[in-house]
Each structure stands twice: as structure tokens, then as C-alpha cells.
Amino acid sequence: MDFLMMGADSVAGVSLTGEEMLEWTDMPDPRTGSAVLTRAVLDALPTGGRVLLAGPHGDDLIARLAAAGATVEQLVRSMADAQTSRIDHADVPVKVHCGSLATFDEGGYDAVVALGGVAVLVSPEQQLSWTEALSRLRRAIRPGGVLALALPNAFGLDRIADPRAAVLDADADWPSGGPTSHTVTGLAAARR
């Protein structure tokens, strides 16, 4: 617990919600999102208001929401991602929460955006089913608010028409089903 508090104290603006993952990251490069997806999300959200970005999201989406007058908050499960987000967005008023969706109790958001799916929102301590995760996301939204949620479609055209399908022989060769990759930070250093 002392280690966890030292990490939280070192980066201003990170609130701990429980079940934080210390040696983990969900933020690949580029982060979740694209120009088309960002535009679609911005068009669907109310102007201004309080927006929760659940999971890692693209820097452009965060900046554009803030520029549009939204109060932006972000929930990530990884302490490393929370610290990175806080540092990367030091010039943007973003409140960063670190922990699992299972222990996150904030509410009253005008919009909740989860473009990386629900798998990147929970930790190994307390797994949520898909419906439980959806229910928690919906509870965070005020009545009449908006939920923007992206989900992988195993039968989608992008999977069926993937030209790599002919060379993906092993189960591990296939995409994991989400736009994010999962890596353990510091693993290479631990092996040395």
C-alpha cells in the first residue's frame, strides 16, 4: 500500500478508485481512436458537459473534447497509463482516475465513451461479465446522457476480409478482439 501511495503522490491529479494495476499498460501507439471515430463521437456527444473516457483514448479526442468546453475525466486501470495521461495532458484540464470499473463509483456524466471495449476496464481481482460492465457504464451516465461504446465483431467484414487470414495458423497469431494491445511494463528489465 505504501508503494501505491508513493506512486499516486508523484503525479498530481490522479485519483485512485481501487484495483489499480501497477506494472501494466493498455496504451499502445497509436492509442485507441481514429479521425473518423473521433468525429463520430464528437457529433454524438452533447456540447460541453461532463464526459468520462473509460479506458485509453486518443490524445486528439481528449484535446477536442476539452476545446469544445467539456469537463473531461478519464478512467484507466493502469497506474503507468494514469501517470502518462496526466503528464501528456498537463495543459488540458483532465481529471484522471486509476482503477477498475468494478470499483469506480462516480456518476452524473453527460456522456461516457469507451472505445476500447470493456475488457480494458477491469482488473484481474474482480472480473465483470459483459452485461455487468455495461450496467456499470450506464449507471455512470445521468438520465438522458450518451454512451459511446465500441465492441469487436468477430464476424465483421474487417475479420472476414483480412488478407492475413491465410497465414494466421496459430491461435496466438489472431487479433485479440480489441484495438488495444496488452503488455507488462518492465518485463524485459526483469528478465535481464
Beta strands in 43-100 (DSSP E): 50-54, 71-76, 94-99
Distance CA(102)–CA(125), nearest Å, equals 9
Question: CATH 3.10.129.10: does it fit domain 2-153+162-191?
Answer: no
Q: How far apart are CA 67 and CA 89, in angstroms?
A: 12
Please state, as a whole number, how many other Cβ atoms lie within 10 Å of the Cβ of residue 67: 9
Query: Please, what sign has the CA dihedral across residues 91, 60, 105, 1?
Result: negative
- Give the C-alpha separation, 151 to 24, whole Å: 22
Count CB-CB contacts under 10 A for residue 149: 16
The span from the CA of 164 to the CA of 4, in Å, is 42
pLDDT in tens, 40-85: 888 888 888 999 999 988 888 898 899 989 999 999 999 999 988 8
The helix (H) or strand (E) run that includes residue 5 is helix 2-9
Distance CA 28, CA 60 (A): 15
CB atoms within 10 A of CB 2: 6
Q: Which of 8, 12, 20 is nearest to 75 (CA)?
A: 20
Tens digit of pLDDT per residue, the chain (192 long)? 333 444 443 355 788 999 988 888 887 655 555 777 788 888 888 888 999 999 988 888 898 899 989 999 999 999 999 988 888 888 888 999 999 999 999 999 999 999 888 889 999 888 898 899 999 999 999 999 999 998 777 777 766 676 665 565 565 655 555 444 444 443 343 343
Within 8 A by CB and 6+ apart from 61, the residues are: 33, 38, 41, 42, 53, 113, 115
